Structure 1
């Protein structure tokens, strides 16, 4: 569903009226376009030490216009703040203030990315304080940006080097238009070796992926993006959605499988289909989910149990079968759809929030099982996304929900899909057991 207000305040006479009245003016976000550059202008790399120099070299190898010192009034496409060597809160000052001095020169749709290390791994209290300070700096800065710009961070865990493949993959994702609705978030990258694609626009070439709940909305968008990235895609949904499912499969030249994921044989049918058509299964996207909203005082067993069965119990059963099967790649990737409701809670959604919080717990506990084999499992937690479901909200409620994020608008299904495609790639092998929010920095209730 389109955001009429956003369109009005960004075009023609209504744009000028909005300016004069001082109305909120959410920007049109910079999304992925293969014909456009990675960032809309030069990149300023701030920080001292080996990591800053090494990351500048990586950016240069991507044919980016890199600056180590700001030029007054020069428009910047991105600012990279390298803070992995901070040892005390005072060490944050130089890089943070230098970044602040260049914020007015950040282009519309610009990006700010920090690189730091986990506070939990610091032995010294001062170092832990400095590292945790990066989080407060970044999240606050993300609230200050305008023009559709975003700020996100990469956290180097377990001694991971700044130029590890998974760091490069995360950096490219956060700098690009693919991360349009990811704001104020951190991606923790571990020491697992990733493998960068030969072509960045075909990060899933020759992979076989399955997407559940793919007949419409976010699921269909995920299928389209995975196909764009080179994957063979199997789309799955219930028989009642068969016609829409077939249309999606035809559009992406994939295959359709009608199956109820709560059935005990759902995983076996998916594995058999993947093996017969493509030889193996590499990527599993657990997107299927339902809502049966009611205040807990009025909740009945049918509403509660059906949501748990579809949203989390089915995934647990299927993952157990996938991990035990030789048809599922040893380096397989699993991505599950959680929700900000599972993090912050939401009135009238105790059953849904329980299921989505359950996904987060499942992901964290399953990650160690996949790590030794080179696989990974992560979750994506969408916030307010423009779908058929949100279109049914009362008009005033919908408008309020849109404006509550730092970006002052709802996300699009493609924003969720782009994040999933990143996590499903081999380049993201070092990202495991993580929950990445796609919410425009909207955390109502937290």
Structure 2
């Protein structure tokens, strides 16, 4: 699906007219392509703690141009603001204003990343205030950035150190084009687990992954992205989508499994297929989902039950079967597709929002069970993504939905797929029970 307005205001006469009239001018986002530079310019690491020193040293080992102090009027690729030791709100002023002095020097599609610690009940009131203050600061800053730049945060939970594998992996993800449509979000690293890949271009090499709802749209793009990153694919969809499913499976050199995931034995069928063809299963991506929109006053049993059964009940049954199997692992990864509708709600989608809210609740509650097996479970919550489904939204409503985020445009299926691929990797082994929104950051609220 093409955003013709965005194309118009980014070239020629349309660009000049939009600028004169003060119309929204969504930037062309920098999206990941194999072999491209991680960032497009020097990276400034601000902070006076040991964590700042460690991160600067690590970034140097990535062959990046790293600065501890910005040079005025030099176009920057990123600012990393290390705030892990703030103990009082007044501690924020010096590093934050140091970053402020460099904001006008950020290049197109630059990145701002904070590294801090979450507030907790055992903190002093002053420390909790400072740490929670980072949250409000970063989310507000992300809404001020322009030209496709994004702002995101990494939270170091408990005793996690800045140089832990999943912290470095999250930093690489946020700096790269993989996170083009992730904006104003925080990702908590809760343990030192995880291992960085030998080949950053193929972080899923040797892994066997299942993707449900893989015949079209976001599911097909997830399959292509996981294949690009080295995974062997088992693709699942309904028999009615068999031709499309076979085409995608052939394109990614995977196998197709025609299956209704609401069947009681769906989990066992998926395991049997993966084990028979590939010997095991490492990654489960729950992408399959439907909408049956209706105002609640007009809702009926069929619309409600079909959405709940496919979007959440099937995931619960499949996960139960996977976690009971010796063939899932040894470091299993589960990634579920939720939705921002499950966070903020959406008119006419009480059934869909309930199911996607259910996905997020399931992820949090299952995290300890998966951790016991040496694995992780996380969710990705897309916002407005340009798909065949969103193309059917009435024009005026579609345009409002596209522009009502900090990046002033809809996302692409690839944005969802890139985030899933990151969370499915061994490098993300210290990230568990998280919901990461891929929504361009809503203009109102978080």
Equivalence for 2:410? 410
Equivalence for 1:183? 183
Shift of 1:441: 0.3
Contact in 2 for aligned 1:183/1:439 (Cα 8 Å): yes
| Cα distance between partner residues in 1 of 2:148 and 2:23 | 16
Shift of 1:270: 0.8
Equivalence for 1:96? 96
Equivalence for 1:34? 34
Equivalence for 1:160? 160
| Cα distance between partner residues in 2 of 1:343 and 1:49 | 35
Stretch deviating more after TM superposition (435-444 or 333-342): 435-444
| Cα distance between partner residues in 2 of 1:445 and 1:20 | 29
Shift of 1:36: 1.9
| Cα distance between partner residues in 1 of 2:382 and 2:159 | 30
Pairs within 5 Å for 1:131-146: 131-146=131-146
TM-score, length of structure 1 as denominator length = 0.99
Contact in 1 for aligned 2:44/2:79 (Cα 8 Å): yes
In 2 relative to 1, CA 65–379 (structure 1 residues): closer, same or farther, beyond 3 Å? same
Where 2:26 maps in the other structure, the secondary structure is coil
Where 1:366 maps in the other structure, the secondary structure is helix
Contact in 2 for aligned 1:346/1:445 (Cα 8 Å): no
1:161-196 CA deviation, whole Å, 9 max, x = no partner?
A: 000001000000000000000000000001141110
| Cα distance between partner residues in 2 of 1:182 and 1:445 | 15
Superposition RMSD in Å: 1.0
In 2 relative to 1, CA 423–144 (structure 1 residues): closer, same or farther, beyond 3 Å? same
Contact in 2 for aligned 1:237/1:260 (Cα 8 Å): yes
| Cα distance between partner residues in 1 of 2:298 and 2:192 | 47
Shift of 1:22: 1.9
1:254-297 CA deviation, whole Å, 9 max, x = no partner?
A: 11100000001111111111101111000000000001111111
TM-score, length of structure 2 as denominator length = 0.99
1:342-390 CA deviation, whole Å, 9 max, x = no partner?
A: 0001111000000000001100000001112220000100000000000
Equivalence for 1:5? 5
Equivalence for 2:302? 302
| Cα distance between partner residues in 2 of 1:126 and 1:321 | 46
| Cα distance between partner residues in 2 of 1:435 and 1:348 | 23
Pairs within 5 Å for 1:42-441: 42-120=42-120, 122-441=122-441
Contact in 1 for aligned 2:164/2:192 (Cα 8 Å): no
Shift of 1:330: 2.9
Q: Structure 1: where are the runs of 5+ without partners?
A: none
| Cα distance between partner residues in 2 of 1:243 and 1:373 | 36
Q: Structure 2: where are the runs of 5+ without partners?
A: none
Shift of 1:444: 6.4
| Cα distance between partner residues in 2 of 1:282 and 1:443 | 37
| Cα distance between partner residues in 1 of 2:291 and 2:26 | 29
| Cα distance between partner residues in 2 of 1:105 and 1:443 | 24
The number of aligned residues is 446
| Cα distance between partner residues in 1 of 2:172 and 2:195 | 14
